[in-house]
Chain A
Amino acid sequence: GAGVSQSPSNKVTEKGKDVELRCDPISGHTALYWYRQSLGQGLEFLIYFQGNSAPDKSGLPSDRFSAERTGGSVSTLTIQRTQQEDSAVYLCASSFRDRHEQYFGPGTRLTVT
Chain B
Amino acid sequence: GESVGLHLPTLSVQEGDNSIINCAYSNSASDYFIWYKQESGKGPQFIIDIRSNMDKRQGQRVTVLLNKTVKHLSLQIAATQPGDSAVYFCAESGMDSSYKLIFGSGTRLLVRP
Q: Show the binding face of A for B, using Cβ within 8 Å.
A: 4, 31, 33, 35, 40-45, 48, 50, 56, 58-59, 91, 93, 95, 98-107
Contacts of A101 in B (CB 8 A): 34, 46, 49
**Among B46, B99, B102, B103, which residue has the most Cβ atoms of chain A within 10 A?**
B99
Whether a CB of chain A sits under 8 angstroms from the CB of B101 is yes
Residues A106 and B43 in contact, CB atoms below 8 Å apart: yes
Whether a CB of chain A sits under 8 angstroms from the CB of B67 is no
- The complex places the Cα of A40 from the Cα of B103 at a distance, in Å, of 13
Q: Number of A-B pairs whose CB atoms are under 8 Å?
A: 62
With A42-B89, A58-B98, A91-B43 already in contact, 20 other A-B pairs whose C-beta atoms are closer than 8 Å: A35-B101, A41-B106, A42-B103, A42-B106, A43-B44, A43-B91, A43-B101, A45-B101, A45-B102, A50-B99, A56-B100, A59-B100, A100-B49, A100-B99, A101-B34, A101-B46, A102-B101, A104-B44, A105-B43, A106-B41
Q: Show the binding face of B for A, using Cβ within 8 Å.
A: 4, 32, 34, 36, 41-46, 49, 89, 91, 93-94, 98-106
Nearest CB on B from A80, distance (A) = 23
**Among B41, B44, B93, which residue has the most Cβ atoms of chain A within 10 A?**
B44
Residue of A with least CB distance to B100: A45
Nearest CB on B from A63, distance (A) = 20
20 pairs, A vs B, C-beta closer than 8 Å: A31-B99, A33-B100, A33-B101, A43-B91, A44-B103, A48-B100, A56-B100, A58-B98, A59-B100, A91-B43, A100-B32, A100-B34, A100-B94, A100-B101, A101-B34, A104-B36, A104-B43, A105-B43, A106-B43, A107-B42
Residue of B with least CB distance to A42: B103
- The complex places the Cα of A95 from the Cα of B32 at a distance, in Å, of 15
- A42-B105 contact given A100-B34, A100-B49, A101-B49, CB 8 Å threshold: yes
